Structure 1
Amino acid sequence: MRLLLVEDTFDVAEAIMIRLERSGVACDHARSLEEARGCVDVQRYDVIVLDINLPDGLGTELLKEMRARGDRTPVLMLTAEFSVDDRVSSLNSGADDYLVKPFDHRELEARVRALYRRDLGDKAEELTVGNLTFNASARVARREDSPISLTRREFSLLEILIHNRGKTVSKERLFEGVFSFQDTDVSMNALELYVARLRKKLSDCSVRIETLRGLGYKLEADD
């Protein structure tokens, strides 16, 4: 999953990014509306976490602009306001959810993942393909009853493939979901390395990662 966090308060943003990146989410950070606009102009995101009060305007301005051009990326609004009117206004502008500061970071992560699953059409918390079971919230992947040890990026890669099981996912889409703007020294070759590592760790499972030359990768269950 690749997420854009739009938050101008450094310590709040840092804490959120540490929490999400530890759980396998690739995070980009914008501190203002101008930076956020620049990000969404060049990058597709799975979820956006958007603060309402920013140095150069309101987060709802960006939200309205996105919805006006047909961008349906799930958006979770952050607000320090308790006013019902403010919350209703955010939802009416096209927000998918909101969270009032201060909040528990576990709740933020759970809501982000719920929006991600909803956007993909997966309602279940736990997904099973063949004898592989995957739970993003618990950060657990199992072959039957045996846990599979995965690094953060391997887990992110598997998350994208399993949510798109049976579908071809381009290398570019996988790269975007696993790496953030901060990973400036990472090339597409690194993605191929992570795919190879993940294949090896899934070798005892009844699933396989297929390579489609020039197209990307696909997760399939063995017959």
Structure 2
Amino acid sequence: MQPDCSCPLCGQPIGELPVTILPERGMVVANGKFAILTGHEVLLLQRLAEVFPRVLSKEAALEWLYQFSAEGEEPEIKIIDVYICKARKKLDQIGVRIDTLWGKGYALGVDRKPVIVREAA
């Protein structure tokens, strides 16, 4: 549930805001709250937001997270489940879901496409 907010300039009610991901800070903002994620967790959430509303397979997630790893350094696919589990615990507290689609992968359980805010280097 979105908190009641109004525009500070005109006083009109502001509609529901999308989930906002700040990858450089490892932060996710939703429903007037925020969560801090680890590097891999926020990268995985970022990828889920990029493919929203489609499903991200575990294989695609693993390949994307470790695309720059040296040959032979790619971990087991089960690590994706671990990252998802840890991220879910943090995201549940701010009302953001990661849904499991058995045999297919993961998808964000939000109403609108999340916004990814990049910070200038």
Fold match (TM-score > 0.5): yes
Where do residues 30-179 of structure 1 align in structure 2 (5 Å cutoff)? Answer: 129=18, 132-136=19-23, 139-179=26-66
Q: Distance in 2 between matches of 1:199 and 1:205?
A: 10
- Which position in structure 2 is the counterpart of 1:116? none
Match of 2:95?
206
User: Are the equivalent residues in 1 in contact too, given 2:26–2:38 (CA < 8 A)?
Assistant: no
Once residues 206 and 141 of structure 1 are traced to their aligned partners in structure 2, the CA distance between those partners, rounded to angstroms, is 11
The runs of at least 4 aligned residues of structure 1 exceeding 4 Å deviation read: none
- CA drift of 1:185 comes to 5.4
Structure 2 counterpart SS, 1:201: helix
Q: Which region of structure 1 is more displaced relative to structure 2, 172-181 or 157-166?
A: 172-181
Contact kept, 8 Å, 2:55 with 2:104, in 1: the verdict is yes
AA matched with 1:149:
I
Provide, for residues 98-146 of structure 1, a one-character-per-residue CA deviation record: whole Å limited to 9, x for no partner.
Answer: xxxxxxxxxxxxxxxxxxxxxxxxxxxxxx64xx321335543123443
Structure 1 unaligned blocks of 5 or more: 1-127
Please identify which structure carries the higher helix content: 1
Contact 2:99 2:106 in 1 (8 A): yes
* Post-superposition offset of 1:168: 0.8
Q: CA deviation at 1:162?
A: 1.3
Unpaired segments of 5 or more residues in structure 2? 1-16, 112-121
Partner Cα distance (2:89, 2:66) in 1 = 21
TM-score scaled by structure 1?
0.37
Tell me, in whole angstroms, the C-alpha distance in 2 between the residues paired with 1:207 and 1:141: 9
- Residues 198 and 211 (structure 1 numbering): CA distance in 2 closer, same or farther, change over 3 Å? same
TM-score, normalisation: structure 2: 0.65
Name whichever structure is richer in strand by fraction: 1
Partner of 1:196: 85
**Number of matched pairs:** 93
Please provide the CA RMSD for this pair. 2.2
